[in-house]
Amino acid sequence: MNARIASLVALMALVTTPSCKREESSQTPSTMGSAHRDGGCHCRRDASATPVARPLADTSVYGLDIAWRDQDDRTFSLASLRGSATVALMFYGTCQSACPVLVRDVLRVEAALSADARAHTRFVLVTFDPETDTPARLRALAEEKQLDLSRWTLLRASPDDVRTFATVLGVQFSRVGPSEFTHSNVITLLDARGEVSAQLEGLQQPVDDFAHRVEEAAR
Ligand SMILES: [Cu+2]
């Protein structure tokens, strides 16, 4: 972990509202400290939203120096998403409970968008389990879920880098078995500059408010 990322992670540890200790069986919206809530949508409104040309803030995930690989084992830079709205979910492919529901929830968000917003939105799934979730498995998952790979990307990175990314998103996870994790159930909206602008917590939540925020971010 380089010095910039270390300082970023330290900063996020200070400013990120702790995510709930939500385990996979949970079915209800979480409370997230004093974060603003619109139904299930924890909208961290960014009053200082500015044009894309401005330098990236230290809280932008686009500044993270992470060697991502996609479902085709190609290198991938999150910074390539700059200028788009990005809906990000951390998950793992062998999860039998929450993750399949969360992926369906992201598909519901996608379906709720206008065609124009959908065209300006990217969907990113980041695995907690890069050892098990090989590119072939991620590719198979994309096919099984019928994810449109013109908009969706499934990503893996080193365990340390996955941990860094989770910290920036405020996602908690821990390994509880060889290929089993407990984790936060949270869908994150990154704005065009790669900063967290809204989060939807819980499973099978209403997606309208969150989708509205995506629409705004995709403009
Ligand atoms: Cu899961």
pLDDT tens digit sequence for 153-212: 999 999 999 999 999 999 999 999 988 999 999 999 999 999 999 999 999 999 999 999
Dist. CA 98 → ligand 1 center (Å): 4
Would you say how long the chain is, in residues?
219
Dist. CA 10 → ligand 1 center (Å): 26
Residue 46 CB partners (closer than 8 Å, separation 6+) = 191, 195, 197
Dist. CA 55 → ligand 1 center (Å): 35
Dist. CA 48 → ligand 1 center (Å): 34
CB-facing half-sphere around the CA of 8: CA atoms within 13 A: 25
- DSSP 8-state assignment for residue 29: P
- Phi, psi for 181 (deg, rounded to 5): -135, 150
Count of CB atoms situated within 10 Å of the CB of 28: 12
C-alpha angle 192-197-201 in degrees, rounded to nearest 5: 130
Dist. CA 47 → ligand 1 center (Å): 33
Residues 123 and 110 sit within 8 Å (Cβ to Cβ): yes
Q: Please compute the mean of the pLDDT values over residues 19-25 and round it to a whole number.
A: 36
Q: Is 113 exposed, middle or buried (0-12, 13-18, 19+ CB in 10 A)?
A: buried
How confident is residue 53, by pLDDT bands cut at 50, 70 and 90? low
What domain count does the chain have?
1
Residue 54: its pLDDT value, please? 59
pLDDT digits (tens, 9 = 90+) for 112-134: 999 999 999 999 999 999 999 99
Dist. CA 183 → ligand 1 center (Å): 7
Dist. CA 157 → ligand 1 center (Å): 18
Instruction: Give the gyration radius of the chain's Cα atoms.
Output: 16
CATH number at residue 158: 3.40.30.10
* Separation of alpha carbons 4 and 8, rounded Å: 6
Per-chain residues with Cβ under 5 A from ion ligand 1: 95, 98-99
- The model carries a pTM of 0.79
Dist. CA 61 → ligand 1 center (Å): 22
Domain that holds residue 22: 3-47+55-218
